[in-house]
Structure 1
C-alpha cells in the first residue's frame, strides 16, 4: 500500500508531512523511523501528521526521527500552515494549528516565502542549571517553549561555531538530570541583535535549525541582558528572526519551502 507524502523544510529543518484526511496511519512511531532514515527511507528530521481538529484549522502530530513523539516544532508548525495555505487553499489572515503544546497561529508572508508563528510565552528557570561531566561543570539556562531546552552560552575562546564539538550537546541532552531528554542549544552572541546557534534535538540529533530552539536561545539571551528584544538567529540551515513582544509573546519568522512530494512504497501500518 502506497502513501502520499510531501517533504518540506524550514531553514533546513526538514520533515515528511502526511495528510491524515487522505492517509490513515496505524503505527506512526514505526513509520516515522522508517521514512526519516536518510539512507533507506525518504530522509528527514522526522514526520508530521496533519490531522483534523475541532479547535483549530488542523492538528499537528510530530514524530522525531527515532519515532518518539514531540510536543512542538516551530519550523514544523510554519510548514503545516504553508501546506494548508497552498494545498487546502485556506487563505485566512492567520491559520491556527493545534499542537501538543497548545494552539499556535501562523501568518503566511506570501511575497517573501516566509511565515511568522506566535510561539507563546517562554518559561525560564530563575536559577542557572549546572551539571558535571568528566570533571567539568557546565552552566545552562533551562527554557520551556512547550518543549524543554538547555541553552549554553559559548565563550569566545571556544572558537567558531562551525568547529564546536556537538558531543557536548549530546551528553547534556541525555544527562541523568533530564530523564526524558532535553533539546540543547549552543549559543554564540556576537551583537545585541545577532547570535549564532547549533542545536541538538532529542530524538533527532543535530538539526540544521530548530524554531523552538531559536526562541529558547533568544529568550535566554534577552533575559540575561545579552541582546535586545528582537534578534536575528543564524543557524547552519539559514537565518530566522525572533521577537519577544511586550505582551510576553514570542514571534518566530523564517522560510518554509516545499522540497518534493511522492508516494512512499513502504508499509504505513
Structure 2
C-alpha cells in the first residue's frame, strides 16, 4: 500500500487512495497505521475516494479508530493532495466530507502551494445539532467538572467544540481536556479548546481532540474558537483573526455566518507499507 504522510500546523495524517472501495476494515486500519510505535504514526487516517457530488471525497478516521465528519487541518492537506495529484484541474474545487461539500481554494506562490483556503460552513449553537443532552444550547455558561468550574461555550463547527477562555490561568489540555470531553451534557463527547486572547486580532488555542488527544493544531477548533470569541466580543468582529496553535498559525475569517480557514499544508514523506 502506498501512502503519503502530511501535516497542517503540526496536525499529522496518513493519506491513502481507495478509488475502488477495496478497504474492508478502515477503522482497524487507521488504528494500525496511526500507531506511533508500531505503525507510521499520525493523528488520523485520511482516505481519498471518488465522489459523485465533488472532485473527491475525504474520509477521515481518528487514531483510535473512531470516525470524524470533518477536520480542518486534514481538509487543507486533502486540498493540497488533490491539487498536486491532478485529481482536480483547477485551484478552486469542492470536496465531499461527512459534514457536507466544502469549497477549497489553492493559493499559489511561484507555482507552489503556499496556503489552502477552506470554506468551513456555518457554526451552530443548537443543542440538537451539537448534540447536547436535554439542553437547547450551552453559551457562556459555567459547568463543573472534577470539582473545577469552567465557563464554556459549545458550538458545532463540523464537529462539536467547547471553547474555554482563560487569560488568568494556564490549562492542562491533556489532564483537563480529557475530562471535560466526557462531560454528561455532551451526548457524543466534545473537542475542547483552551483559548487565550492576545489582542483584538490574535488568539492562542490549545485543543484536546476526541479520538486523537492533545494535538498540535485543530482547524475546526481554531475556527470554532474565533467564532465564539467574536460572538462574545473578545476580538474584532470585522477582521481576520490570526490563531496561534502549538504547531503553527492559521487565519480565520468570519463573513456573516460563513467561516473561512486559511493555512499551510505540507508533505513530510511518502512510502509503502504492508500493515
Do residues 200 (structure 1) and 208 (structure 2) align?
yes
Q: How many residues matched?
A: 259
Alignment of 1:85-164 (within 5 A): 85-88=83-86, 90-111=88-109, 113-124=114-125, 125=137, 127-156=139-168, 158-159=169-170, 164=172
Distance 1:38 1:23, change over 3 A: farther
Tell me the alpha carbon deviations over residues 41-82 of structure 1, each in whole angstroms, 9 at most, x when there is no partner.
Answer: 000001011111100001111100000000101111111111
Residue of structure 2 aligned with 1:16, choices 14, 17, 41? 14
Task: Please say if residues 129 and 142 of structure 1, whose CA atoms lie closer than 8 Å, have aligned partners that are also in contact.
Answer: no
Partner of 1:233: 243
2:31 is aligned with 1:33: yes
Does the 8 Å CA contact 2:167/2:197 hold for their aligned counterparts? no
Structure 2 equivalent of residue 213 of structure 1: 221
Matched, 1:253 2:254: no
Unpaired stretches in structure 2, ≥5 consecutive residues: 126-136
Match of residue 7 from structure 1 = 5
Give TM-score scaled by structure 2 length.
0.90
Pick closer, same or farther for the CA change 1:165–1:250 going to 2, 3 Å. Answer: closer
71, 74, 93: which one pairs with 1:73?
71
* Paired residues of 1:196 and 1:234 also in contact (CA < 8 A): yes
With normalisation by structure 1, the TM-score equals 0.92
**Partner secondary structure for residue 110 of structure 1:** strand
1:83 aligns with one of 81, 84, 87: 81
Residue 235 of structure 1: how far off its partner (Å):
0.3
Residues 129 and 82 of structure 1, relative CA distance in 2, 3 Å threshold: same
2:183 counterpart of 1:182 = no
CA distance in 2, matches of 1:148, 1:216: 9
**Do structure 1's residue 244 and structure 2's residue 254 form an aligned pair?**
yes
Equivalents in 1 of 2:265, 2:21: separation in Å? Answer: 23
Partner residue in 1 for 2:57: 59
CA distance in 1, matches of 2:39, 2:21: 18
For residue 128 of structure 1, report the CA deviation from its aligned partner.
Answer: 2.8
1:191 to 2:199 alignment? yes
Q: CA RMSD in A?
A: 1.6
- Larger RCO (alpha carbons 8 Å, 6+ apart): 1
Query: Aligned partners of 1:126 and 1:141: how far apart in 2?
Result: 6
